[in-house]
Amino acid sequence: MGSFSMEEFTQPIEKYDILTFTIKETGLTYSRNYISLYRLNAENNSLSESDNITLPIQHESKNKSMFGDLHDKGLWYININTSSLQAGNYMLHAEVTNDLSINSTFGVFKKHADKLFYIASNSGKVNATVINP
């Protein structure tokens, strides 16, 4: 079915409050990318959803902390405005799925990727670490 990966786009100046990710999909490509931003809460070992976006249907999320689009077949980009987010650990989750396969005998085909990053207090600096599946 191909691969699905997410990478942070390194910005030349670290003072910006925008963090950019590229999402690359190979093989069979899908037309919608469901992206969610979660805050990791260490106090009670939980994830709480901060925002979500469906590309290319929405170009900006409901909370206006994420915006992006499909750049080319199989190449998505997503920007996160970190200025409105609290300090802490976050996880960006992206997935594509074939809705037509729900009734298939083979089941639902899904590709996904996750990316962890940390937002320091009172700073636009962001450190990111890839989660290896």
pLDDT digits over 23-60, tens only?
A: 999 887 888 899 999 999 888 888 999 999 999 888 89
What is the band of 89 on the pLDDT scale with cuts at 50, 70, 90? very high
Q: Quote the Cα angle for 31-33-38, to 5°.
A: 175
Euclidean distance between CA atoms 90 and 74, whole angstroms: 25
Domain ranges of the chain: 4-130
String of b and e for 43-52 (b: at least 16 CB within 10 Å)?
Answer: eeeeeeebbb
What is the band of 132 on the pLDDT scale with cuts at 50, 70, 90? very low
Q: Are the CB atoms for 78 and 65 separated by under 8 Å? A: no
Average pLDDT, integer, range 74-88: 89
Please determine, for residue 83, whether its predicted confidence score (pLDDT) is greater than 80: yes
Q: Which residues contact 116 (CB under 8 A, 6 or more apart)?
A: 40, 89, 90, 91, 128, 129, 130, 131
pTM: 0.80
In the chain, at which residue ranges do the beta strands (DSSP E only) sit?
4-9, 18-25, 33-41, 46-55, 66-72, 75-81, 88-97, 110-119, 126-130
Q: Identify the CATH number of the domain defined by range 4-130.
A: 2.60.40
pLDDT of residue 15: 60
Average pLDDT, integer, range 113-133: 65
pLDDT of residue 133: 45
Q: Are the CB atoms for 81 and 17 separated by under 8 Å? A: yes
Which range has the worst mean pLDDT, 21-35, 74-88, 116-130?
116-130
What is the band of 130 on the pLDDT scale with cuts at 50, 70, 90? very low
